[in-house]
Amino acid sequence: MGGVKLMYSIGVDSGSVATKGVLFDGEKIVKKIIVPTGWSPMTTANEVYEKLKEGIPEEEIKKVVGTGYGRGVMDFADKKVTEITCHSKGIHFINNDVRTILDIGGQDSKVINLDADGNVVNFLMNDKCAAGTGRFLEVTSNILGSDITKIDELARGNNPVNISSMCTVFAESEIVSLLAQNVPTGEVAAGILKSIANKSTSMLSRGEIVDKVAFTGGLAKSSELVRMVSEIIGKEIFLAEDTQIIGALGAAVIGFGRR
């Protein structure tokens, strides 16, 4: 007699900057993938899907769920779900005490409120402007001659200079002007993060800050930014082990049929 058949679900989150994928067995993440989306979301999403299902018999995959801005081109997906719902389900699976999510991705930011079952009860989304997103941090970091991953090192221990403009184009000019006035690079770096923190917390306050707050998305990898947001709202921030894969995890959780 054969053994018990293993079952899996797959979640793929096609973002503007990165495509994330999760293979899930109903209890835990078995495999995860994060790759740059590049010029073709369809090609990248397909590559992530193929890598996730390598070596797994087709009958052992319950469902494949696509999410993110590129979900429309995922021909392999059995179901397509909004990233708002997937982020909620992903965070709820990891920590069911969370009722508020701040998510900052490459091109947009969101505030999501969820109930005790991980269902969305309210959300705000900024997808019209790159202000306060990963794109904003990438562009402004480049002006400092720094990689986006090094911004924490530059900023740590420095007093943030005031950067008044949140428009990416105007902020660029403001930063160039500050550097020309010999304002230390570390203070400018701290100022960039503080301006993102201010934008994020303003959005949080327009929504509702309920109970435990989670920070998801690529920008949650900045410990300095997390610290600033936490100080402004006066609450401890919950961070998942990998803040970038929450949408893909939520998609996989939905695909497995878990609440």
pLDDT for the residue 3: 56
pLDDT, tens digit (0-9, with 9 covering 90-100), for 44-53? 999 999 999 9
pLDDT, tens digit (0-9, with 9 covering 90-100), for 113-146? 999 999 999 999 886 677 788 888 998 999 999 8
99-239 matches 1-95+241-259 in CATH topology? yes
Q: Where are the domains of the chain?
A: 1-95+241-259, 99-239
CATH code given to domain 99-239: 3.30.420.40
pLDDT, tens digit (0-9, with 9 covering 90-100), for 198-221? 999 999 988 889 889 999 999 999
The confidence band for 259, taking pLDDT boundaries of 50, 70 and 90, is low
Angle at 251 between CA 106 and CA 18, to 5 degrees: 25
pLDDT for the residue 129: 72
The confidence band for 186, taking pLDDT boundaries of 50, 70 and 90, is very high
Topology (CATH level 3) of domain 1-95+241-259: Nucleotidyltransferase; domain 5 (3.30.420)
- Extract the tokens encoding 179: 């550097």
pLDDT, tens digit (0-9, with 9 covering 90-100), for 165-185? 878 888 889 999 999 999 999
Task: In whole angstroms, give the CA distance from residue 10 to residue 252.
Answer: 5
The confidence band for 94, taking pLDDT boundaries of 50, 70 and 90, is very high
pLDDT for the residue 178: 96
Question: 56: burial class by Cβ within 10 Å (0-12, 13-18, 19+)?
Answer: middle
Each residue of 222-242: b (16+ CB within 10 Å) or e?
Answer: bebbbebbbebbeeebbbbeb
Task: In whole angstroms, give the CA distance from residue 253 to residue 247.
Answer: 10
Q: What percent of the chain has pLDDT over 70?
A: 97
Tell me the Ramachandran region of residue 226: left when phi exceeds 0, alpha when psi lies from -120 to 50, beta otherwise.
Answer: alpha
Tell me the Ramachandran region of residue 60: left when phi exceeds 0, alpha when psi lies from -120 to 50, beta otherwise.
Answer: alpha
Task: In whole angstroms, give the CA distance from residue 193 to residue 18.
Answer: 21
pLDDT for the residue 164: 85
| Mean pLDDT estimate for the chain | 93
- Where is pLDDT greater, at 62 or 108? 62
The confidence band for 1, taking pLDDT boundaries of 50, 70 and 90, is very low
Q: What percent of the chain has pLDDT over 90?
A: 80
Which DSSP string corresponds to 71-106?
GGG-TT-SEE--HHHHHHHHHHHH-TTEEEEEEE-S
pLDDT for the residue 148: 86
Please check the confidence at residue 195 and state whether its pLDDT lies above 70.
yes
- Cβ atoms of 142 and 134 within 8 Å: the answer is no
pLDDT for the residue 122: 95
The confidence band for 106, taking pLDDT boundaries of 50, 70 and 90, is confident
